A and B are shown apart, each in its own frame.
Chain A
Amino acid sequence: GEEVAQTPKHLVRGEGQKAKLYCAPIKGHSYVFWYQQVLKNEFKFLISFQNENVFDETGMPKERFSAKCLPNSPCSLEIQATKLEDSAVYFCASSQETVINYGYTFGSGTRLTVV
């Protein structure tokens, strides 16, 4: 399809529980990016993939966060043992290789609330 599909739209987890978010990139896009938006407008880069390979993971927290992009499956972002500070909107974006530096298409986000 022509949109980046993120599921679920909302996710509520108790502190210490696991959270798993999914992202289906636009067909034909080989790059996937994950961003965390806290406090309404603070975007933080987490990780990117080129197909199923990690491309840039410089923003990924060392603990509790992991991500995968496997062939023929939606990409996923998993947070183990969630903390209150993980409450945020998590955005996924995808891009074709030739336009990677000219912006990409974002999904509508998954709002994670940790209580």
Chain B
Amino acid sequence: QKEVEQDPGPLSVPEGAIVSLNCTYSNSAFQYFMWYRQYSRKGPELLMYTYSSGNKEDGRFTAQVDKSSKYISLFIRDSQPSDSATYLCAMSASNTGKLIFGQGTTLQVKP
């Protein structure tokens, strides 16, 4: 069993829809949680980060962490075709910065 599980999709939504992306994890020591966006043939780009449980909002993006359920989410409001990419969750248990990634969810937003 992988430490971090993420549905690879693909997920296809119409423009303007609310998108919900999720990851579950098994290691209760994870404290730092991140979401990255990766366009084809590019490096991952950091979208959001949170520490421990709670919500964080940045523009159209909201990240949620529920440590009791070992579940994290990324919500995208008013989705745009330019949001079409692979979204990777990542998390860390230590102060070394070593990240464990989910498999990534491929999102397509159709105009």
- Taking Cβ atoms with an 8 Å cutoff, the residues of A that contact B are 4, 31, 33, 35, 40-43, 45, 48, 55-56, 58-59, 91, 93, 95, 100-109
A41-B86, A91-B43, A109-B43 given; A102·B101 CB < 8 A = no
Among residues of B, the one whose C-beta sits closest to the C-beta of A41 is: B104
Contacting residues, chain A, for B88 (C-beta < 8 A): 41, 43
18 extra A-B contacts, CB within 8 A, seeds A42-B103, A91-B44? A33-B98, A40-B104, A41-B8, A41-B88, A43-B90, A43-B99, A45-B99, A45-B100, A48-B98, A101-B95, A102-B32, A102-B34, A103-B36, A103-B49, A104-B97, A108-B41, A108-B43, A109-B41
Among residues of A, the one whose C-beta sits closest to the C-beta of B96 is: A56
CA A93 to CA B98, docked complex, whole Å: 11
Contact B97 A107 (CB under 8 A): no
Residues of B within 8 A of A (CB-CB), count: 26
20 CB-based A-B contacts, threshold 8 Å: A31-B97, A33-B98, A40-B104, A41-B8, A41-B101, A41-B104, A42-B103, A43-B101, A48-B98, A56-B96, A93-B43, A100-B96, A101-B31, A101-B32, A101-B51, A101-B97, A102-B51, A104-B46, A109-B41, A109-B42
